[in-house]
């Protein structure tokens, strides 16, 4: 349970920093693959995806606390959807 809470907090914090245009969670070589003029829009889109991922982890915590048998199914479907969204965002903004 503590691991899921940690992931939830991590993705919320990361998403908030990215929404405000701060790329502190990225290495320099990752940011160099992006054009400087599209970096703010990339960070905002990825920030929304990370906040969505944090929301999925938080939803899993709530469903687990409520005793739902669908908590793990919700978690896996949410993580798969967020991974697809992040992959599309990365392919949209990275240089060829």
pTM over 0.85: yes
SS (H, E, C) the chain: CHHHHHHHHHHHHHHHHHHCCCCCCCCHHHHCCECCCCHHHHHHHHHHHHHHHHHHHHHHHHHHHCCCCCHHHHHHHHHHHHHHHHHHHHHHHECC
Segment 30-55, tens digit of pLDDT = 888 888 888 899 999 999 999 999 99
pLDDT interval class at 21 (50, 70, 90): confident
Number of domains in the chain: 1
Structural domain that includes position 80:
2-93
């Amino acid at each position: 349970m503590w691991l899921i809470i940690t992931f939830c907090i991590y993705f919320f914090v990361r998403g908030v920093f990215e929404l405000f245009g701060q790329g502190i969670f990225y290495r320099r070589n990752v940011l160099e693959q992006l054009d400087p003029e599209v970096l703010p829009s990339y960070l905002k889109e990825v920030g929304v995806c990370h906040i969505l991922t944090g929301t999925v982890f938080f939803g899993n915590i709530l469903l687990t606390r409520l005793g739902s048998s669908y908590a793990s199914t919700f978690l896996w479907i949410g993580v798969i959807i967020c991974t697809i969204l992040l992959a599309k965002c990365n392919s949209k903004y990275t240089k060829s």
